[in-house]
Amino acid sequence: MTDSSVQDAPNAQDPAHLKQSMRKVALTALAGTSIEWYDFFLYATAAALVFPAAFFPGSDPTIGLVLSFGTFAFGFIARPLGGIIFGHFGDRVGRKKTLVIALWMMGISSTLIGLLPTYASIGVAAPILLCLLRFAQGLAIGGQWGGAMLLVTESAPADKRGYYGAYAQAGAPVGVILANLAFILISSSVSEQAFMDWGWRVPFISSVLLIGISMYVQLNLEDTEAFKELQAVKAQRDAESPVKIVRRSPIIEALVKYPKRIALAAGAFLSIQVAFYILIGFVLAYGGDVNGAAIPRDTMLFAVLIASGVQIPAQFWAATYSDRHGRRGIFMLGAVLTGAWSFALFPLIDTGQFWLVVLALSGGLAFLGLMYGPQAAFFTELFSTEVRYSGASLGYQIGAIVGGAFAPTIATLLWAEYSIVWVSVYIAFASLLSLISVRMLTETYKASLNDVE
């Protein structure tokens, strides 16, 4: 049964009021996701540059890097669990409340990483605690994405869901920029020894700011009209029913109703995750390797920073395009271009020339942005309101753990055991799987978000 008698509520509002309200929601989502991803990506940068020495001393450099990237993967292992837990409550008690809890969790766990003693101080307990805190980060990011993107897309006019959804998606590249800027500013302000001793901790400790943003969301934003309508429909049906209605968990409901869509959404996300974490994490280790281009650390960080800046307008353009012409076409184009560009990526980095390195990373992140920009609206539209948080989060986070969790580790092993060209093959293969997955999904850009089954 589908109840679509009520049109998307935001479209019925005064245009000026709607625009002002959407700007507030979109910018708040951008601020929250930016700092949330900043925290998550700080770890990627530190895993490449700091953690091998701080938490795995005495290891062979390659083994230390693999172990460090292994702890990086802990965050991804936790992401589907975070998606399940936060998805359940997001569909039951609201998008806003779960988002606030996710922001709190990320702020606290990231700050504690900045305060964590190293292996030299407490021995093997240090990497164990590091893994636990990374796991907490994963839980938080697993819940944050669904809450932030639904607050925006469920509030947006139907013909601008892609554009406004891109604000939540822009948090990822903005987070990369903030994380790299933090490391650049600290490393350029103190000596190498001071940076390794304590300087790397400052960006993590500053994550306490995220708690302030969570309070702003709690006090200043309302839940979405789609969720409010869902609650009203449930209340009416409960009142009219002679017996108490027992509902399954939204996660179970989503898996029963939409197993194919969840699996294909996860497949669609593979290319984004594999390419992204190689482009922002693995390349830092590869570019700085003494047997390769031997590019200085700050030079590689600047290159990633500039390339992430290029990714942002690419995402907004693709998301806006998808509002007019559909989500699937631009998404599939991004998968094809990302796969093809992977074979130009490392030869350009190997030149050691700064602007060619920037070109290499910018091309990869821009093509990736053609997929990531429309993704919030695309995944929102795949599921009905009562399981939307759960379904979208499951697709997103399963794709994250399969595609992103071990991408830097796999890339490191392929590079060490074979050659760097196999890393390009790895990216291209993931892009092919994403292309096939999106091809098998239906077009969604004209779907109503107020359907309640």
Q: DSSP letters along 337-374, please? A: HHHHHHHHHHHHHHT--HHHHHHHHHHHHHHHHHHHHH
* Residue 6 included in any domain: no
- pLDDT above 80: residue 302: yes
Q: Tokens representing 336?
A: 């094809």
- pLDDT above 60: residue 285: yes
* Residue 7 included in any domain: no
Per-residue CA distances from 93 to 10, 107, 240, 388 (Å) = 21, 22, 21, 13
* Residue 246 included in any domain: yes
Give residue-wise pLDDT tens across range 148-200: 888 888 888 888 999 999 998 998 899 888 887 888 888 788 887 888 888 88
- How far is residue 215's CA from residue 62's CA, in Å, rounded to a whole number? 42
Identify whether the C-beta of residue 340 lies closer than 8 Å to the C-beta of residue 425: no
Question: What pLDDT score does 1 carry?
Answer: 36
Give residue-wise pLDDT tens across range 332-364: 999 999 999 999 999 999 998 899 999 999 999
* Residue 25 included in any domain: yes
Question: What pLDDT score does 77 carry?
Answer: 80
Q: Which residues are within 8 A (CB) of 8 and not within 5 positions of it... i.e. 6 or more apart? A: 157, 158, 225, 226, 448, 449, 450
Q: How large is the average pLDDT for residues 96-105?
A: 82
- pLDDT above 70: residue 11: no
Question: What pLDDT score does 142 carry?
Answer: 80
Identify whether the C-beta of residue 282 lies closer than 8 Å to the C-beta of residue 349: no
Q: Which residues are within 8 A (CB) of 285 and not within 5 positions of it... i.e. 6 or more apart? A: 48, 65, 408, 412
Question: What pLDDT score does 9 carry?
Answer: 43
Q: DSSP letters along 318-331, please? A: HHHHHHHH-HHHHH
Domains of the chain: total: 1
* Residue 452 included in any domain: no
Q: What is the mean pLDDT of the chain?
A: 83
* Residue 451 included in any domain: no
Report residue 19's pLDDT band, with 50, 70 and 90 as the boundaries.
confident
- pLDDT above 50: residue 76: yes
**Range(s) of the domain holding residue 399:** 18-440
Question: What pLDDT score does 87 carry?
Answer: 80
Question: What pLDDT score does 231 carry?
Answer: 62
* Residue 449 included in any domain: no
CATH number at residue 410: 1.20.1250.20
Q: Which residues are within 8 A (CB) of 124 and not within 5 positions of it... i.e. 6 or more apart? A: none
Instruction: Among 7-16, 179-188, 387-396, name the most confident range.
Output: 387-396
Alpha carbon of residue 278 to chain centroid: 14
Of residues 338 and 243, more confidently modeled: 338
* Residue 404 included in any domain: yes
Q: How large is the average pLDDT for residues 67-74?
A: 75
